[in-house]
Amino acid sequence: MTLFLDVNALRDLVNKTGTSQFISGLLHFIEQDFIRWPYFDKSPRTAAHSKAGVIELMPVADDVNYGFKYVNGHPKNPTLGLSTVMAFGALSDVDSGYPKLLSEMTLSTAFRTAVTSAMAAKALAKPNARNMGIVGCGSQCEFQVIAFHIINNINEVRIFDIDEEAMDKVEKNLKNYPNIKIIRASSVKDCVQGADIVTTVTADKTNATILTSDMIEEGMHINGVGGDCPGKTELHIDVLKSGKIFVEHEAQTRVEGDIQQLEAQHPVYPLWRVIAGLDIGRDFEKQITIFDSVGFALEDLSILRYVYELAVEFKIGETISLIPALDNPKDLFKLAVVTN
């Protein structure tokens, strides 16, 4: 039987684990998979683009597990009462091809994206970074803030969004985190001024310039999350040129990330090698570091493996007959045809 985790099950699983513990545990899974990067069969995701957005399939495997995610990105969806990003996915046993888990991945994507961002900042930001400016107060925002608080000890966060109500929502949702001071900014410039870490997590299907060079300060770490599709960027090209850029799967990021604006020879560095301790991230205190995040399938495999383990441990989720259970595996017909 295949284990099925819907949104309610995933929420129960996070609550049962405790948010802090869930995030710390997930960090361990993602780090371990990044350290094992060369052992995975990797490819850029396949994308079906339309005027309104994109629908993508993201597969990855090692010799034990195969995972894939279906995910969309439709920035205008909130005006229709729908989310910008929605996802589901599966985890399968490589030896038999049997799907062990079918799971919601909208919440999972928010968690894995935030934890990957925080993991990158742990490796790349100044060790004494304590405050962050975050531009974009949509679905991903609070997950980012909490992951940075738990993993990077970020205690003060300035927020900005062109939508005042989105900022109200973030303030309300994070009220129960007394150790995180949320400060409402009046502009992007006001939001990022003096920040050790800057996260951009906006959604707009355009080559936006959320961050421009005049906003960038020595030693900043930039976590660019929302530029993740051809023709959808957030960082001005001069910002990219001013820093040392780290990427997930280079072949995918060259097409989808903010670095799509740069020529193909512009140097970028693999994040996994820094996580694995093979390369240095930040070379000097005043260097600007940039994580050009687009989201890679391996992060999804990590969270699928993680929630599968937790779900089995806590007995959360239901088992479903996704695959026929047959006495005789050659007799599929018997299952389908009851009468003639």
Instruction: Give CA angle at 299 (283, 253), nearest 5°.
Output: 60
| Residue 234 CA, distance from chain mean position | 16
Stretch that binds ligand NAD, among 29-37, 122-130, 136-144, 172-180 (CB under 6 A): 136-144
Minimum CB distance to ligand NAD, residue 183 (Å): 16
Pick from 138, 243, 270, 281 the residue near ligand NAD by CB under 6 A.
138
Of 3 and 247, CB closest to ligand NAD: 247
> Per rule CB under 6 A, is residue 102 in the interface with ligand NAD?
no
Q: Exactly one of 85, 91, 303, 311 binds ligand NAD (CB under 6 A); which one? A: 85
Closest CA to 85 of 100, 67, 106, 99: 106
With contact defined as beta carbons under 8 Å apart, do 2 and 319 qualify?
yes
Q: Are 102 and 320 in contact (CB under 8 A)?
A: yes
| Residue number with CB closer to ligand NAD (59 or 317) | 59
* Collapsed DSSP state (helix, strand, coil) of residue 2: strand
Residue ranges in 262-291 that form contacts with ligand NAD under rule CB under 6 A: none
Number of neighbouring beta carbons within 10 Å of residue 5: 26
Task: In angstroms, give the least distance from the CB of 203 to ligand NAD.
Answer: 4
- Residue 203 contacts ligand NAD per CB under 6 A: yes
d(CA 144, CA 72): 19
The residue number whose beta carbon is nearest to ligand NAD equals 138
Contact assessment for residue 201 and residue 258, using Cβ atoms and an 8 Å cutoff: no
Cβ-based neighbour number of residue 132 at 10 Å: 28
3-state helix, strand, coil in the chain (%, to 5): 35, 25, 40
13 and 136 in contact (C-beta within 8 Å)? no
Coil vs helix vs strand at 236: coil
Work out whether 60 is an interface residue with ligand NAD (CB under 6 A): no
Which position among 161, 196, 228, 292 bears the catalytic label? Answer: 228
- Asked whether position 210 contacts ligand NAD by CB under 6 A, the answer is yes
Active site residue 331: no
- What residues between 141 and 200 interact with ligand NAD by CB under 6 A? 160-163, 166
CA distance 76 to 53: 8
Per rule CB under 6 A, is residue 33 in the interface with ligand NAD?
no
Work out which of 2, 17, 65, 84 binds ligand NAD, going by CB under 6 A: 84
Q: In the bound complex, what is the minimum distance in angstroms from residue 265's beta carbon to ligand NAD? A: 24
252 binds ligand NAD (CB under 6 A): no
Query: Which residues are annotated as catalytic?
Result: 228
Question: Binding residues for ligand NAD, per CB under 6 A?
Answer: 73, 75, 78, 84-85, 109, 113, 135-140, 160-163, 166, 201-204, 208, 210, 225-226, 228, 293-295
